A and B are shown apart, each in its own frame.
Chain A
């Protein structure tokens, strides 16, 4: 059965592009446009992996990630965070230093280069 990926981003163009690329590579793709919608969809239909944009209205990616990772039921779902370069590295440094546990499983620079994204997905699934 095809692996299910939940794509969470408020940028409709990226969602459209990434969705068709992932589908072409044989994944089953679900889409959410903000953090709240993401949490609802995870509850209803557990995905195999979540690609999560950081910059979103309502709940941002970091917050969503934190909620998912501190919940026993969703802890095991791999999360890839999409961030801008500077934020990305700052965040990883920050979390490494502070020893925060609820970290994403990987970070991919935004805008995502599809090759990087698929490499990261294949490594986690």
Chain B
């Protein structure tokens, strides 16, 4: 509540009347000002003074009460106007009320007869002020809503990403200008057109999949291509109160330039790798010629040096090969053969390649289930799978201390063939486990610091296994060794499943 006293104006040409009212009202705690006629009263309003109530005598020189009532309302619409008059007739009362007066006090009056209409007038004024305030607040709210709505609309319209909103029945509710630029077919569609009417089956299936997920938050992503452009579409359900699905919203981003860059990168990597590889091959070739030439009499030390050179060149060439394969897979230029192959032969080949390396570290490398699963076949690319196993065994050798054990196992399990490479080496932490398939990632600690590698082996393994519709699973703990298990569809499943 305001501390300020309620201000009342008394306008009467009789001094006794003015002062009498002042006395009564002041004693009730009101602040009172007086004026001797309408002109003097209006002066006060012109000065900017405000009053809650005005008591106005009807009969005054210069400006009478009726006129004053009208004038005052030009300054203040909410003021409670009370008419005081000795000529109390129904007619004047009605007239004054018509002009905007709230009440009517016949002269002479007792202090009580004055105070009651004043109090009533104040209440009325309070009410009308409150109503006015509410009205104003509502208007402001409406304005705000309208503004927010148009702001949201502008934001969506001006976004550089495309936005498509569909309702639960896969009918288009909203598209923004960017979508229309991406897909001109969307420009003049009538509201609530079904999305399938536009022939964008990839977009349509993504959205219907999004609508059927039901869970929140869920984001489904898909790359879709139109002509030379590629768009990344992220779709999520529109959910109300975390349960009811209202529709789905798809955000489209033009990633054509990124794609182009990716292709340039891949072809650059492939070109460089190819060049590097052919030089390395020549170095290796000459070295092996020199070493195999018995007419040359090298010292034992020189021979060792040349052998080391050859090993290093070979390691580098393998690394570049992996890089090339990854590059080829990424650009879609790598195809695998899908022919029936015996799992045992693949394992045998890989083990043969690695056995010498394991022996040098006095690691026992065994493939145990070979006899049992003689007939196990899968559909795949022998070279690719040997590369996979070679990489896994090679890693096991790298991360297993001397005199450790490595086992290669294979078994049929339902419709699948499982091949696992397990070691009792240094293992890894959960965090490391999550990253090992990332390009160039290498586990770093005091044991691994001297282990050479590019961080590409497992990336390649993962990609090759993906191409075989397979899966690779890792179990490992720090200091507890690692088990890499490849799961591939068994041949019958791959052919007819």
Contact = CB atoms under 8 A, between A and B. Distances in A.
A111 B325 contact: no
A1 B286 CA distance: 28
A17 B282 contact: yes
B240 interface: no
B335 A89 contact: yes
Contacts of A14: 278, 281-282, 285
B225 to A, nearest CB: 21
A86 B292 contact: no
A86 B328 contact: yes
Given A13-B285, A18-B285, A114-B285, A86 B280 contact: no
Contacts of A17: 282, 285-286, 289
A11 B325 CA distance: 23
Given A86-B333, A89-B337, A20 B289 contact: yes
Contacts of A84: 274, 324
A34 B429 CA distance: 55
A92 interface: yes
B390 interface: no
B337 A13 contact: no
B52 interface: no
A114 B287 CA distance: 12
Contacts of A26: none
A56 B70 CA distance: 107
A21 B277 CA distance: 20
A86 B324 contact: yes
A85 B320 CA distance: 12
B278 A11 contact: yes
> Which size class do B's interface residues fall under?
20 to 34
B287 to A, nearest CB: 10
A110 B278 contact: yes
A122 interface: no
A59 to B, nearest CB: 20
Contacts of A90: 333-335
A111 B280 contact: yes
Interface in A1-55: 11, 13-14, 17-18, 20-21, 24
A93 interface: yes
B469 interface: no
B335 A112 contact: no
A21 B284 CA distance: 12
B328 A85 contact: yes
B154 interface: no
Contacts of B337: 89, 92-93
B188 to A, nearest CB: 43
Question: Most A CB atoms within 10 A — which of B292, B325, B335, B336?
Answer: B335
Contacts of A18: 285
A21 B39 CA distance: 127
A85 B274 CA distance: 9
B310 to A, nearest CB: 12
B2 to A, nearest CB: 85
Contacts of A114: 285, 288
Contacts of B274: 84
A11 B286 CA distance: 13
A41 to B, nearest CB: 23
A93 B335 contact: yes
Contact of A86 (B270, B278, B281): B270
A111 B278 contact: yes
A84 B270 CA distance: 10
B321 interface: yes
Interface string B5-41: 0000000000000000000000000000000000000
Contacts of A111: 277-278, 280-282, 284-285, 317
A89 B289 contact: no
B336 A89 contact: yes
B334 A86 contact: yes
Contacts of A112: 281
B324 A85 contact: yes
Nearest to B324: A85
Interface string A71-86: 0000000000000111
A118 B80 CA distance: 115
B286 A85 contact: no
Contact of A13 (B270, B277, B286, B317): B286
A14 B284 CA distance: 10
Given A14-B282, A21-B289, A86-B334, 13 more contacts: A11-B282, A14-B281, A21-B285, A21-B288, A84-B274, A85-B321, A86-B325, A86-B328, A89-B335, A90-B335, A93-B337, A111-B284, A111-B285
Question: Closest 6 CB pairs between A and B?
Answer: A111-B281, A17-B285, A86-B328, A13-B282, A93-B335, A86-B333
Interface of A: 11, 13-14, 17-18, 20-21, 24, 84-86, 89-90, 92-93, 110-112, 114
Interface of B: 270, 274, 277-278, 280-282, 284-286, 288-289, 292, 317, 321, 324-325, 327-328, 333-337, 381
12 contacts: A11-B282, A14-B281, A86-B325, A86-B327, A86-B328, A86-B334, A89-B381, A90-B334, A90-B335, A92-B337, A93-B337, A114-B288
